[in-house]
């Protein structure tokens, strides 16, 4: 489910629905779209718009029915992938992960694209052999699925890992990994290979069998800015250290939904005894909180971030890789989620089966963050 502002022009009924959506009149827009679909059940554009308006009303039962209707528009691997995404969102993990393997057969879904002559590993024991684990997608995905490395190691011989350069030292702290290489550097000879994102399917992960033992990552020995970060942390000794991240990568396709204006953090300003630490990268931004320490210039890679996070008592963040890192390190974290979150956060839950130290705060109204931050402030005051 990837809701976004629908666009249409040709059909006047769809133009009316589009206008209603832009005014936030979702129920009225839904009625118009249902009338259109009554005459043309397989029409792609109105069905996509209906998916959006149902999601924006938080009617998850109805949304599932719409998504199941939409599956009829796909065929082959694309249909399997879409059904897998649907099942994962609703917590049906074992069939969802199995169907998600269709992504490797759908052009444009895998990044980086790799070509291997070595066979894919299917979960069988591999004593005396070497297996290459390789990353796929973003930093958060790599951190999230590294949790499977100890399970992989328990089944065989040597385990190599190829990851983003920024994650090399951090990933080396994961139990079960023998040697880590930055992509796209060459790796030694290996016998088998598998993507980190295929491991939930390999291990047939169900809702009750998620490997959620934390921490499964640690602060690396090599932290480029350890001394400077230690000085910042020492300045707040004896106070409640709280880390903040209010925005993600701007090039992310859903960044406008998941990021927020730092001015919205104002309800947190009167919390007593807090030492605020910003984990935002780039130039420091104005934040309506007293004495914010801007760590961004000192965070050269994820090793720096892990060291800084290890000094936090609490983290408050939107859905970014920092949340995954905090969860993997076992740092208590309050996650601020948009109305229609990524599938891994499921629906209507305050906890995460992937990260026991996370608590989820969800928008009740699309795009409205004020009540979310107000609730966080109330909970922190006790």
Domain boundaries, the chain: 12-105, 126-209, 226-381
Q: By the 8 A CB rule, do 183 and 119 touch?
A: no
The beta-strand segments (E) located in 164-261 are 179-182, 192-195, 240-245
CB atoms within 10 A of CB 61: 8
Three-state SS for 103? helix
Q: Which CATH architecture has domain 126-209?
A: 3-Layer(aba) Sandwich (3.40)
252 pLDDT above the threshold of 70: no
Q: CATH topology of 126-209 equal to that of 226-381? A: yes
Whole-number pLDDT of residue 305: 98
For residue 9, what pLDDT band results from cuts at 50, 70 and 90?
A: very low
Look at the block and give the residue holding tokens 């554009």.
45
Tokens 């914010």 belong to: 292
Give the per-residue pLDDT at 365: 86
Between CA 207 and CA 37 the distance in angstroms is 35
Each residue's pLDDT tens digit, 299-337? 999 999 999 999 999 999 999 999 999 999 999 999 999
Q: What is the largest CA-CA distance in the chain?
A: 67
Query: Are 133 and 149 within 8 A, CB to CB?
Result: yes
Q: Is 363 left (phi over 0), alpha (psi -120 to 50) or beta?
A: beta
Q: Work out the average pLDDT over 133-160.
A: 97
**CA nearest neighbour of 314 among 247, 371, 236:** 236
**What one-character DSSP code corresponds to residue 266?**
G
CATH for 12-105 is 1.25.40.10
- b/e burial code for range 121-160 (CB count within 10 A of at least 16 → b): beeeebeeebbbbbbbbbbbbbbbbbbbbbebbebbebbb
Query: pLDDT band at residue 10, thresholds of 50, 70 and 90?
Result: low
Angle made by CA atoms 104, 109, 114, in degrees to the nearest 5: 60
Residue 146, token pair as written in the block: 């590294």
pLDDT digits (tens, 9 = 90+) for 59-89: 888 889 988 988 988 899 999 999 999 999 9
* d(C-alpha 131, C-alpha 153), whole Å: 9
Mean pLDDT (whole number) for 18-41: 91
Contact present, 97 and 78 (Cβ < 8 Å) = no
Distance, CA of 21 to CA of 29 (rounded, Å): 6
pTM: 0.91
CATH topology of domain 226-381: Rossmann fold (3.40.50)
CA-based angle 48:74:61, to the nearest 5?
50
Comparing C-alpha atoms, which of 347, 361, 366 is closest to residue 52? 366
DSSP strand E in the chain: where?
126-134, 156-163, 179-182, 192-195, 240-245, 274-278, 293-294, 314-318, 333-337, 358-362
Q: What is the mean pLDDT of the chain?
A: 93
Lowest-confidence pick of 4-8, 41-45, 107-111, 181-185? 4-8
Provide, rounded to the nearest whole percent, the portion of the chain with pLDDT above 90. 79
CA pair distance 167, 290, nearest whole angstrom? 32
């Amino acid at each position: 489910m990837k809701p976004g502002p629908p666009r249409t022009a040709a059909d006047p009924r769809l133009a009316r629905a589009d206008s209603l959506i832009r005014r936030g009149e979702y129920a009225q827009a839904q009625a118009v779209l249902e009338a259109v679909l009554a005459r043309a059940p397989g029409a792609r554009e109105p069905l996509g718009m209906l998916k959006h308006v149902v999601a924006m009303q938080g009617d998850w039962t109805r949304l599932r029915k719409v998504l199941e209707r939409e599956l009829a528009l796909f065929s082959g691997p694309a249909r399997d992938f879409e059904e897998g995404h649907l099942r994962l969102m609703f917590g049906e993990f074992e069939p969802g992960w199995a169907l998600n393997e269709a992504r490797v057969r759908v052009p444009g879904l895998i990044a980086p694209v790799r070509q291997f002559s070595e066979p894919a590993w299917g979960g069988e024991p591999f004593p005396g052999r070497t297996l290459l684990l390789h990353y796929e997608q973003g930093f958060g995905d790599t951190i999230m699925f590294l949790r499977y490395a100890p399970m992989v190691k328990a089944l065989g011989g040597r385990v190599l890992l190829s990851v983003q350069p920024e994650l090399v030292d951090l990933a080396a702290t994961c139990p079960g990994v023998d040697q880590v290489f930055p992509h796209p550097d060459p790796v030694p000879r290996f016998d088998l290979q598998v993507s980190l994102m295929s491991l939930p399917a390999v291990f047939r992960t169900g809702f009750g069998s998620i490997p959620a033992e934390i921490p499964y990552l640690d602060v690396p020995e090599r932290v480029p800015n350890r001394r400077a970060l230690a000085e910042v942390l020492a300045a707040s000794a004896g106070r409640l250290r709280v880390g903040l991240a209010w925005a993600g990568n701007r090039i992310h396709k859903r960044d406008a939904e998941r990021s927020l204006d730092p001015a919205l953090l104002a309800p947190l300003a009167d919390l007593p005894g807090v030492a605020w630490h910003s984990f935002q990268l780039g130039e420091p931004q104005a934040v309506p909180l007293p004495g914010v320490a801007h760590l961004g210039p000192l965070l050269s890679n994820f090793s720096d971030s892990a060291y800084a996070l290890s000094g936090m008592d609490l983290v408050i963040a939107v859905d970014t890789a920092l949340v995954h890192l905090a969860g993997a390190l076992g740092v208590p974290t309050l996650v601020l989620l948009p109305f229609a979150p990524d599938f891994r956060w499921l629906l209507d839950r305050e906890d995460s089966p992937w990260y026991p130290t996370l608590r989820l705060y969800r928008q009740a109204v699309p795009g409205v963050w004020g009540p979310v931050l107000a609730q966080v402030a109330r909970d922190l005051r006790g």
